[in-house]
Amino acid sequence: MTAARTIVGMSGGVDSSVAALLLKQAGEDIAGLFMQNWADDGSGDCRAEDDRRDAVAVCGRLGMPIHFRDFSREYWDGVFAHFLAEYAAGRTPNPDVLCNREIKFKYFLDAARELGAEAIATGHYARVERVGDRHCLLRAADRGKDQSYFLHQLGQAQLAATKFPLGDSIKTDVRAIAREAGLPTHAKKDSTGICFIGERDFREFLSRYLPAKTGEIRDPQGHVLGEHPGVFYFTLGQREGLQLGGVRGRDPAPWYVVGKDVVHNVLVVDQGSESQYLLSQALWSGPAHWIAGAPPAARFQCMAQTRYRQQEEACEIAVGDDGGLQVRFARPQRAVTPGQSLVLYSGDVCLGGAVIAATDAPLEQRLREQAA
């Protein structure tokens, strides 16, 4: 049998199903590949087998062959170990970014080439455009579903070999296409949250790997308000799970996490979603990845996101000698979180990004000064 020209990453969801359908309708020679990235941990919450069955059913409906690869060991080493280390250090990582870089556009791409394919395709909402001898990553037409934020670590070689058939599609249209084609995934619920946690309680899942260590909850002035089960279970701006209720002598307004002192195991909270302690106007990052291979300039202005689906914000970028970035925003930003990704844009073009290392938020600056 002649090898397929394009291998489609079949996740068992509606997006990858329609991506394959669109390529098939365009006359592409395609095959599917189902990746298992997480081994069943015995909890009964792993949906991999259900997803596998759905992927097989879709490929059967489309009359295309399907291959299978188990990348769970590679996922553990390249994504999950980093996820745990970052939480243990008090940061909040983004495993979806690492999964794309380390698994979907590395091991999956390698597997596709071993099968004789020239390209891969996925159900991501993003676009690739060739400009001269360079490949650009662009936002999707459906801004509400755009996933370029999670793809900002891709490089020229990966983009040159990748197709995003849904880049010009709207999500509601995608479901309609799947329904009209009789695809068994047309009404399947979209997966949400971190893939290996699924519908489980996040704190319960994390406690299996990072044992709880209780400590004090304090306000920014140092007053003890209660007790937390472990600082690494919380992230900046979080409201849920604090279990503070009404605090005697305090306004009944809700409390939000505004800082984490990992060394002393203290969780700092304040009232009001726009607390001054949640605001920062500058950040510093680790070495940046540039999709074009290099930054536009040593200093330039662009738009940026510090969270997925956040409204992009104007900022000025200064690239350091070590490749790290110093970023100053035009206006203060809420809950900019170390460990998360800063992703940069010029119009619809994703320039690249970096992992946030530190900010000028008041409590973070105070902790740095105390540690110095």
Report the catalytic residues: 99, 195
Nearest-angstrom CA–CA distance, 173 and 311: 24
Phi, psi of 134 (to 5 degrees): -120, 145
Tokens of 51: 């997803």
Distances (CA, A) of 85 to 79, 95, 190, 224: 10, 12, 28, 28
Contact between 92 and 338 (Cβ < 8 Å): yes
- Tell whether the torsion through CA atoms of 150, 357, 219 and 232 is positive or negative: positive
Q: DSSP letter at 77? A: I
- Supply the DSSP string of 276-305, one letter for each residue: GGGEEEEEEEEE-EETTSS-S-SEEEEEEE
* Strand-by-strand arrangement of the 6-9 sheet: 66-70, 30-36, 6-9, 119-121, 162-163
Long-range contacts of 109-115 (CB under 8 A, 24+ apart): 109/158, 109/161, 109/162, 111/7, 111/33, 111/67, 111/69, 112/7, 112/33, 115/3, 115/4, 115/7, 115/31, 115/33, 115/67
